[in-house]
Structure 1
Amino acid sequence: MAVAHENPIGEYLRARRELVRPQDIGIPDISARRRVHGLRREEVAMLAGVSSDYYIRLEQGRDQHPSPQVLDALARALQLDDAATAHLHQLATPPARRRRKTPPPEKVPAGILELIASWNQSPAYVYGRYMDILAANTLATALVPFYTKGENLVRAVFLDPRVPDIYGNWEDVTMSTVASLRVRVGPDIDDPRLNELVGELSVRSERFRQLWARHDVHTKRSGAARIDHPLVGPLELHSEKLPIPNTDHQTLAVHYAAPGSASAQALALLATTTAQDEEHEQTRNIRS
């Protein structure tokens, strides 16, 4: 399923306009009199200090080159944060169109592979531009089954039936996953691989379709993860996501528990069990 994007600025402005509540900007919300979700076009134009006609041209795609000053004014009117404002500016200056070449396979730096392999007490994995898992240590896979090389995080979050049971905050996870994907691809919304992924998920997941239409953009570098593990029970973990220099949007993700906590004990038990299972598997392979 192809995904057409001929008016990225207009799509973005419309989506964000519909998410701003009138009362948040001092406009009485008399629901019976309003026939639109969020703000009206003329209200955004007034708040941004531009004419209604000009704003309508922007949404309709008849003007796709607003000045940086206008973009900043629209961002303030729509109450965009720094990441969303930067994304709006990117949409106004998309990369030059050129003949696409088949990209080379994403390759994780050797040092990163050695690093995560040495962490036998910390689940760690690497994902790439499209949120494909490029590498994972044994404990990461034991913690969450789709933290496995070759899996796609976005596809798994929305289509793997085990996910809602694994994550105690599944709705939050879906929102942050979609917003992170948008940040990673930036204005390059005609990317064939992205279109393939978005098209598949739009057909198969109503939840994804709704979230993709919001045009949320943000990347959580740190946060909390609540994971209900079938072997060691519920885990309250912290996560850190670290960009890997000199790669195409590769990110190193690491989970850890607060020292001395019940989750730290459970994670240590999982690490021990995983190491023992791996040792038994190696022994069977040698004997066979």
Structure 2
Amino acid sequence: MTRETTVGGGTELGRFLRARRARLTPAEAGLAAGPGVRRTPGLRREELATLAGISIDYYTRLERGKETRPSASVVDSLARALQLQEDEHEHLRSLAALAARSAPEAPTAPSRSVRPGVKLLLETLRPGPAHVLSRSNDVLAANPSGLRLLAGIEDWPAKQRNIARYVFLHPAARELFDDWHTQVRGCVARLRALAGTDPDAPDLTQLAGELLLKSPEFARLWERYDVKGRSYGRKTFHHPEVGDLTLGYQSLQLEGTPGHRLVTYYAEPSTAEHDALVLLDILGSQDSMPSAEKPSMAAQPSTITRDEAPPSGS
């Protein structure tokens, strides 16, 4: 995929401004509706320029990529006029900084190597699911429950395991996530944030190109230009092996390896959710055993339930 097919003509700054302007209605901006039928789905250029306190000529040059050095005050004024959230405002600052560079830096493929100490950290978090992700959501390493939580992803080759690819293309993903639509919007928004600051990144262009071809839903969300930073909170899963569970989660940037982050899930001890994580850990550990060491299937119950999991803390 070329830069043109990835992000279209002009600059990322101009495309982002144009996309967000088209989504803000005059009523939302506090403007009275004028006479006649509007041909523009959102604000007109002159309306946004007025709200931001800049000339229409200057704003038009920003959108078309002919003006590439907006001041910090102009960026902040545009963010207020567009009613951007904090993550979106920060993204706009990053795009302005990128546009101001005289020559773009050559894109480089990020490291996929996970340090031994980080792998040890994954083990210490058991039975809590945890995995290390790249900036484009490749699963670089995981503990047993971290892999097993994403039902069915272990069937894919290691280099194919990617959270965005999983949520859009794996048949189990729609049933696994309680709010699949929120999950996919977050994935696309985080990839969009990366595309804004490093549009020619080889890991991003390959992934986005594949998903644009294979998933109409991804293509639709990609054109919205939503951006979002890393987050924390709670997620509910409908897991085919351990049932329904709601887990807290936290994403942490890993120092020393640019773009790598640790995502970990947790549950309160002595709860059904914690027992489910113990069971996931056991099932995931069995997957990683050599075939000769795995328990005989004849000795396994036909259906495993939470009640059969060892007590928490065992």
Normalised to the residue count of structure 1, the TM-score between the two structures is 0.88
Is residue 136 of structure 2 the alignment partner of residue 130 of structure 1? yes
Deviation string 1:134-171 (CA, Å, 9 cap, x unpaired) is: 10011111111337843111122211122111111111
> What's the counterpart of residue 148 of structure 2?
142
Q: Is the 8 A contact 1:129 1:185 kept in 2?
A: no
Which residue, 21, 24, 28 being the options, matches 1:20? 24
* Contact 2:109–2:201 (CA under 8 A) maintained in structure 1: no
Tell me whether 26-35 or 42-51 shows the greater mean CA deviation.
Answer: 26-35
Partner residue, 1:241: 251
1:10 paired to 2:14? yes
SS, match of residue 66 in structure 1:
coil
Give the 3 Å change call, closer, same or farther, for CA 201–277 of structure 1 in structure 2. closer
Secondary structure class of the residue paired with 1:18: helix
Question: Residue deviations 1:173-226, cap 9 Å, x none?
Answer: 011111122334551112233222222211221211121112222123202211
Structure-1 separation of matches of 2:264 and 2:271? 18
The counterpart of 1:165, out of the listed 175, 189, 192, is: 175
Distance in 2 (alpha carbons) for counterparts of 1:43 and 1:103: 41
Cα distance in 1 for residues equivalent to 2:3 and 2:109: 20
- State the superposition RMSD in angstroms: 2.5
Task: Find the counterpart in structure 1 of residue 304 from structure 2.
Answer: none
Range with bigger deviation, 29-38 or 173-182? 29-38
In the TM superposition, residue 274 of structure 1 has moved relative to its aligned partner by 4.2
Say if 1:2 and 1:196, in contact at 8 Å, map to a contact too.
no
Shift of 1:284: 4.7
Alignment of 1:41-120 (within 5 A): 41-94=45-98, 96-100=103-107, 103=109, 105-120=111-126
Quote how far apart the aligned CAs of 1:34 are: 2.7
> What residue ranges of structure 1 are gaps of 5+ in the alignment?
none
The CA distance in 1 between the partners of 2:35 and 2:278, in whole Å, is: 54
Instruction: Specify the alignment match of 2:302 in structure 1.
Output: none
1:55-109 C-alpha deviation (Å, 9 max, x unpaired): 1221122222222211111011001122212211221222542445x54642112
Offset of 1:230 from its aligned partner? 0.7
**Cα gap change, 1:117/1:282 in structure 2, threshold over 3 Å: closer, same or farther?**
farther
Using the alignment, how far apart are the partners of 2:283 and 2:165 within structure 1? 28
SS at match of 2:84: coil
Counterparts in 2 of 1:276 and 1:57: CA distance versus 1, 3 Å: closer
Q: Distance between the aligned counterparts of 1:284 and 1:257, measured in 2? A: 28
Seq. identity, %: 38
Cα displacement string for residues 107-127 of structure 1 (whole angstroms, at most 9, x for unaligned residues)? 112111011023331000000
Deviation for aligned residue 1:22: 2.6
Name the counterpart of 2:309: none
Give how far 1:271 is off. Answer: 3.0
After TM superposition, the structure 1 = structure 2 runs for residues 131-210 of structure 1, keeping only pairs within 5 Å, are 131-144=137-150, 145-146=152-153, 149-150=158-159, 151-210=161-220
CA distance in 1, matches of 2:148, 2:35: 50
Provide, for residues 248-286 of structure 1, a one-character-per-residue CA deviation record: whole Å limited to 9, x for no partner. Answer: 11010001124444323332333344446666856259x
Tell me the amino acid that sits aligned with residue 207 of structure 1.
E
Is the partner of 1:36 in helix, strand or coil?
A: coil
| Residues 30 and 139 of structure 1, relative CA distance in 2, 3 Å threshold | farther
- Residue 14 of structure 1 deviates from its aligned partner by 0.8
Using the TM superposition, name which of 182-191 and 247-256 deviates more.
Answer: 182-191
Unaligned residue ranges in structure 2 (runs of 5+): 296-314
The 2-side partners of 1:276 and 1:112 are apart by 22
**1:38 aligned residue (18, 39, 42):** 42
Name the CA distance, whole Å, in 1 between partners of 2:230 and 2:111. 26
Specify whether residues 30 and 117 from structure 1 end up closer, same or farther in structure 2 by C-alpha distance, changes over 3 A only: farther
Distance 1:273 1:204 in 2: 31
| 1:22/1:29 contact within 8 Å kept | yes
Query: Displacement, 1:2?
Result: 2.5
**1:219 is aligned with what amino acid?**
G
The residue identity in structure 2 corresponding to 1:87 is H
- Native 8 Å contact 2:20 2:225 kept in 1: yes
Distance in 2 of aligned mates of 1:135 and 1:227: 21
